[in-house]
């Protein structure tokens, strides 16, 4: 009999904190500056990363204390996923909430924590530091991530 994996068997709110946390694929897209069109509500990602994002590993360098350093950094919860409309279309939190299977490159599927980078689905090596960009120039850094 096949093993039932937790992300197929449980809703987000039924997961343990460790299970919920493990859904993050490590793409780094949530750590990018985003712009929202006031008229349409459309969200545009930039290639400008939070100053605490390691550009090679896509890991937050102050993860445990991120809200102390960046007060408006969002901490996802099972309850907030539905309201966090700016999550990337490939985000496991969003996919699981919408009943969509994880992609083959997701580390929980592949068993490889670097599979998100190998598949080209992360921002590794493709972003600039927020201190190098004038906030008024963010529009010049809009990109379409896969």
Domains of the chain, by residue range, sit at: 6-141
pLDDT (average), residues 96-110: 96
pLDDT band at 145 (very low <50, low <70, confident <90, very high): confident
pLDDT (average), residues 133-138: 96
pTM above 0.85, yes or no: yes
Best CA proximity match to 116, nearest among 124, 106, 125: 106
2 pLDDT higher than 60: no
Best CA proximity match to 26, nearest among 51, 55, 67: 55
3 pLDDT higher than 60: no
Query: What pLDDT is recorded for position 44?
Result: 95
Question: What residues does 43 pair with on adjacent strands?
Answer: 36
pLDDT band at 1 (very low <50, low <70, confident <90, very high): very low
What mean pLDDT, rounded, does the chain reach? 94
């Amino acid at each position: 009999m096949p093993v039932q994996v937790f992300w197929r068997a449980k809703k987000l709110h039924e997961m343990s904190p460790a299970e919920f946390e493990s859904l993050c694929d490590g793409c780094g897209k949530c750590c990018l500056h985003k712009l929202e069109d006031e008229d349409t509500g459309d969200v545009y990602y930039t290639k400008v990363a939070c100053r605490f994002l390691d550009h090679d590993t896509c890991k937050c360098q102050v993860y445990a204390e991120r809200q102390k350093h960046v007060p408006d950094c969002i901490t996802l919860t099972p309850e907030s996923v539905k309201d966090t409309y700016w999550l990337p279309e490939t985000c496991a939190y969003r996919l699981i909430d919408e009943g969509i299977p994880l992609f083959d490159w997701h580390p929980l599927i592949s068993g490889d924590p670097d599979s998100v980078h190998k598949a080209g689905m992360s921002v590794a090596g493709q972003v600039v530091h927020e201190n190098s960009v004038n906030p008024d120039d963010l529009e010049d850094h809009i990109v379409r991530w896969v």
